[in-house]
Amino acid sequence: MFPTSSHPIDHADPAPQGDGVRAQAAAAEAVELEAATWAVRQRGGLDADGQAQLQAWLAAHPQHGPALEAVSATLHSVQHLPADQAARLRSGLPERLARHQAEAAPSFWRTWLRPIAPHAAVAVVVLSLGGAGWFGWWVQPTFEQSYASQRGQQLLATLPDDAAAGSTIQLDTSTRLQARLFRDRREVALGEGQAMFSVHPDKNRPFHVSTGDLRITVLGTRFSVRHTASGVDAGRTVVAVEEGRVRVERLALSAPTTGAESTDVQAVVELTAGQMLAAPRGQDSGSAVGLVSEIAPAAVAQWRGGRISFDQTPLIDALAEFERYGATGLVVKDPAVAAMRVGGSYGLRQSQRFADFLPELLPVRLVRRGGVTEIVAR
């Protein structure tokens, strides 16, 4: 398992002869294996609990910090080997693994990896080269699947994270996400759109949803996440909790290296049922997570019931929201008209009914021009 213990391995006693020397060597290799595990976990991103566990491990013994630095440097070097060298190492992995399958991982490392990477455990090198082995078995996902809904389409996906009742994800229109299940965690990356999550509780496998620079962590709850480029709340990430509790973290993301990003938590907010967070994206966000407000649990993800709700929403954003579900044939060109505010609840595909009501709600009229209906001031 990943190292979580804060108890140090004692390296300070004078080295005795015979069995004592071997025990001391084994203890040193155990530290290096733990350091390798932490190095890989860091590259994949640590949540607040993981950061706390890492700090506890570093504080447990003065050798832990230098070991982690050495392994991290070696991991970087191995992952940036020239293609021909990496290919030679990768091609030799199966044969060498078979030859040493009866040996423990530290022995396997000592016999052939130490000359290549003197300060790296087998876990790091095997993972870096995409090979097999006990560590690769642990860190590789047990399930990986991409999901995408088309414009106007909604999908329901059930994850195999429980044999009886797996977590479900309901995708709204034009939504893209990727789900990956690991032995110690569950991860969903929301690229675009919005989705409703009903998470099967499992305290040993936290459920993470990442989108933009936010990471949402739960153990078991029902919540929605929106991250869209158009429509209501365009340019923001919105998290709304229907049931349970979630933790929302804003991350400072480093430049990608080998497909993963190193992350540091900048700010944390916890949400409970009936709370919603709206977080601006990118450089507009600063270091805070976002603004928390109240929301009726029944109002979370109303699109599941085929509804759209507007509350003092600019007309241009309301039209863009309808457009996410299908062509409306409605346009607005006058900036003053586009900025007018609208409210109410409508069916997802009732854009024409919405347009018919507009002259009663706003000082506008509808003008048919060239196959589209323009909303103009009256």
Q: pTM (2 decimals)?
A: 0.65
Task: Summarize the confidence of residues 335-342 as an average pLDDT.
Answer: 96
Q: Output the pLDDT for position 80.
A: 57
342-346's contacts with Cβ under 8 Å and 24+ in sequence apart are: 342/310, 342/312, 342/313, 342/314, 342/315, 342/318, 343/310, 343/311, 343/312, 343/313, 344/309, 344/310, 345/302, 345/307, 345/308, 345/309, 345/310, 346/307, 346/308, 346/309, 346/310
Three-class HEC string of 162-197 = CCCCCCEEEECCCCEEEEEECCCCEEEEEEEEEEEE
Question: How many helices (H) and strands (E) are present in the chain, helices listed first?
Answer: 10, 18
pLDDT in tens, 281-311: 654 545 578 889 999 998 999 999 999 999 9
Give me the mean pLDDT over the 42-54 stretch: 75
- Please list the helix, strand and coil fractions of the chain in percent, rounded to the nearest 5, in that order: 35, 30, 35
The answer on pLDDT for 57 being more than 50 is yes
Question: Mean of the per-residue pLDDT values for the chain?
Answer: 78
Q: Where are the domains of the chain?
A: 19-139, 143-299, 306-377
Which own/partner pairs from 328-335 qualify as long-range (CB within 8 Å, at least 24 positions apart)? Answer: 328/352, 328/355, 329/371, 329/372, 329/373, 330/355, 330/372, 330/373, 330/374, 330/375, 331/372, 331/373, 331/374, 331/375, 332/374, 332/375, 332/376, 333/374, 333/376, 334/376, 334/377
253 phi and psi angles, rounded to 5 deg: -95, 135
The residues pairing with 345 across neighbouring beta strands, listed in sequence order, are 309
Type and span of the H or E element at 275: strand 275-280
3-state secondary structure of 229: coil
Give the pLDDT confidence of 215-248 residue by residue, as tens digits: 999 977 999 999 999 999 998 999 999 999 999 9
**What is the distance between the alpha carbons of residues 372 and 350, in angstroms, rounded to a whole number?**
16
State yes or no: pLDDT of 101 exceeds 90: no
Contact (CB, 8 A) for 347 and 307: yes
Higher pLDDT, 367 or 101: 367
Yes or no: say if 160 and 143 are a contact pair by the CB < 8 Å rule: yes
Cα gap 6→9, rounded to integer Å: 9
Domain 143-299 class? mainly beta
How far apart, in whole angstroms, are the C-alpha atoms of residue 141 and residue 185? 9
Q: How far is CA 361 from the centre of its chain?
A: 41
Q: Does domain 306-377 have CATH number 3.55.50.30?
A: yes
Kindly tell me the burial class for residue 150, based on how many C-beta atoms sit within 10 Å of its own C-beta (0-12, 13-18, 19 or more): exposed
Q: How many residues does the chain have?
A: 378
Percent of the chain exceeding pLDDT 90 equals 46
Beta carbons within 8 Å of 363's beta carbon, 6+ residues apart: 377, 378
